[in-house]
A and B are shown apart, each in its own frame.
Chain A
């Protein structure tokens, strides 16, 4: 099957038993690949009420349809599970080469269930698949695990691994591969619970391309478009942090000090305009990315000498920076490196640290409980707390639970300051001043998230794709907008194309690209319907787990505290606006007002048998 690996691999790591089935044409037309495959497989594999750390939970790995194909920026892979942080379906997409390597080994999906008796790794060597006991890997960091497995299995294998945070079941532990991460939602902890330290893949079969000559023409065409664009200059020079200054000065929506403010006054110290020329000498790109936004950040002297990290991304400049009031870029870099080595999501980690800082300043947690004084801006405490969280040492043990569970355990009104949706700590958008994104935080299946809709670009600039004149301070007409953006982005996650290319490849470009690579014809409408179908299944999964309307609601910081200064001063989302936006969204989706997909909608999407 051109462009596809062609097979789904299931492996039970309790027994080592494997099962391979073929990807059918019907599955391709209905689910496309990547995200579409993952949600279908998770829904069918994980029974209702499964505990996230139970052997019955699954970690599903799906490269997209275009992952491994020659199209520039099409190298992504998606990891999916029932999350220990949110108890919802949770997916996280990473770059690196491991997704492409899985395709080259012949797999469009890998479904991992069970629990190994001893620390092990999974080795997928083309058709040869096995679970290998390897206790020497346990307690190693992700960089060491990569090195050990390459020495053992050959330098050409691609490795994804967890760090000690995953082993210690930190609820927001992630997975690392080639210094890129599936960070969000605790996938690393689920692998840790299965005692699977790493997944190593060698795929030597390659990928058949339907029309190789035209494929090369498309490579040349899109390369030219990308290289001559403004985005190319910004991405390659400064990376994703490029719009940090704009988010502060022009939009006043850069969350600061645990979402108390929307402007970080010391931002010039963490702005890549300042640090990229000083600390970064080269770019780092994901598989097939010719406009790399990654930066190799190195520190040569001082207290953090020896730090080397692929970053620092926009989200991390916020989470380990502004969210903690931390303006020391070297401390941010070191904390980022530690998160990567220990396998921690930088967003949840940083927001959790910022939350404890606010509790300290408000007297809810004291110096004795924390172990030291912890006001906002205490830079050196940030990498120190990353260590403590990963190893669950002292206060780090509590922090490893995430802000929602922490607040419940601490009591004393701590919940008032815990910023999360469905238990997921939010990314770098002060949604009090970006109301469509506030709705997107509510509706994302995995909790507060910017990527399931990607609507921030539309909301902040007022236009994208078929939308224009969008007002970020208004709560009107946001339901249809977010629904459409979610379906659009789900197509991206099914294709395996980087979301930072969404300005280049609008949905209408993909029918030609898909036919060239796979020979399968899709219309733009069919692609968006595949996105809609996947989003309905995600909602069905969450509904089956008992996630209701009230679990979608925003925290008090968003609905009660106006942004105190800057361009967005005074803006917040009222409770009425919150409920109206949610109603509007459920209507646009064809769901009832509890957010349950109607029978008619499921029939339209030909998934009525799933309800």
Chain B
């Protein structure tokens, strides 16, 4: 399956992906309610962090959610906001920090039904909608896992 793959060596860190993700999903602009999050460190690291939908993780969020609000259908992990209480267990469980919480609800990438809006605005190739590669994912998010 295709997921949003991160290429930090190309990401310029502009966060327009975060802005349009929240705009198209919530009708407001709020990068804390976005399925993509750019992690910046120092001058040289701009790392787009996005849910890998089980490719390179063990779907720890699904097991951690006490409300059964997170599920996977046809490979796509989604959060049911009807059930989510914003407890934050999923955030603690996700090995890559790909879930954010704001206003009492958790947010993560739902792949926009196969036409991701974030990809549309990325001019630098920092994120691409591409075939999932679990080994690549584990490698690119090493700095997140290692703190």
**A residues whose Cβ falls under 8 Å from a Cβ of B:** 68-70, 72, 75, 97, 100, 104, 143, 146-147, 155-156, 178-179, 203-209, 212, 215-216, 219-220, 223, 227, 232, 236, 281-292, 294, 296, 298, 308-310
Contacts and interface: CB of A to CB of B under 8 A. Distances in A.
A205 B30 contact: yes
A472 B28 CA distance: 46
B48 to A, nearest CB: 13
22 contacts: A70-B23, A75-B14, A143-B43, A146-B42, A147-B42, A156-B37, A206-B32, A207-B30, A209-B27, A223-B120, A223-B121, A227-B123, A236-B124, A284-B13, A284-B46, A289-B12, A290-B122, A292-B14, A298-B44, A308-B43, A308-B44, A309-B43
A285 B44 contact: no
Interface in B1-37: 9-16, 19-20, 22-24, 26-33, 37
A43 B40 CA distance: 36
A204 B103 contact: yes
B12 A206 contact: no
B130 to A, nearest CB: 19
Interface residues of B, number: 37
B19 A70 contact: yes
B26 A206 contact: yes
B102 interface: yes
Given A147-B42, A179-B43, A227-B123, A288 B30 contact: no
Contacts of B87: none
A97 B15 contact: yes
Contact of B30 (A143, A204, A310): A204
Nearest to B30: A206
A204 B13 contact: no
B39 A155 contact: yes
B15 A288 contact: yes
B123 A290 contact: yes
Contacts of B40: 178
Contact of B31 (A104, A208, A220, A283): A104
B25 to A, nearest CB: 10
A156 B12 contact: no
A282 B9 contact: yes
Interface in B54-77: none
A207 B22 CA distance: 10
Contact of B20 (A206, A216, A282, A296): A216
A2 to B, nearest CB: 9
Contact of A209 (B12, B29, B41, B120): B29
B1 to A, nearest CB: 26
Interface of B: 9-16, 19-20, 22-24, 26-33, 37, 39-44, 46, 102-103, 117, 120-124
Contacts of B29: 68-70, 104, 206-207, 209
Contacts of A72: 16, 121
A287 B43 contact: no
Contact of A104 (B20, B23, B32): B32
Contacts of A206: 22, 26, 28-30, 32-33, 102
A220 B120 contact: yes
B14 A212 contact: no
B41 A147 contact: yes
A292 B124 contact: yes
A216 B23 contact: yes
The 4 closest A-B pairs by CB, nearest first: A206-B30, A285-B14, A285-B12, A292-B12
A286 B40 CA distance: 12
Contacts of B13: 178, 284-285
Contacts of A204: 30, 32, 102-103
Nearest to A69: B29
Contacts of A100: 31
Contacts of A285: 12-14, 124
B118 to A, nearest CB: 12
Nearest to A151: B147
A89 B13 CA distance: 32
A212 B23 contact: yes
A288 B9 contact: no
Contacts of B26: 206
Nearest to B33: A206
Contact of B16 (A290, A309, A310): A290
A219 B20 contact: yes
Nearest to A292: B12
A208 B28 contact: yes
A44 B24 CA distance: 40
Contacts of A281: 9
A291 B123 contact: yes
A22 to B, nearest CB: 20
Contacts of B28: 206-209, 212
B76 to A, nearest CB: 22
Contacts of B30: 104, 204-207
A430 B26 CA distance: 50
A294 B10 CA distance: 13
B23 A284 contact: no
A155 B38 CA distance: 10
Contacts of A156: 32, 37
B134 to A, nearest CB: 24
Given A70-B29, A207-B29, A216 B12 contact: no
Contacts of A294: 12
Contacts of A69: 29
A207 B32 CA distance: 11
A4 B50 CA distance: 28
Given A209-B27, A282-B12, 9 more contacts: A70-B23, A178-B40, A204-B32, A204-B103, A209-B29, A281-B9, A282-B11, A287-B14, A292-B12
A284 B12 contact: yes
A533 B15 CA distance: 33
Nearest to A281: B9
A205 to B, nearest CB: 7
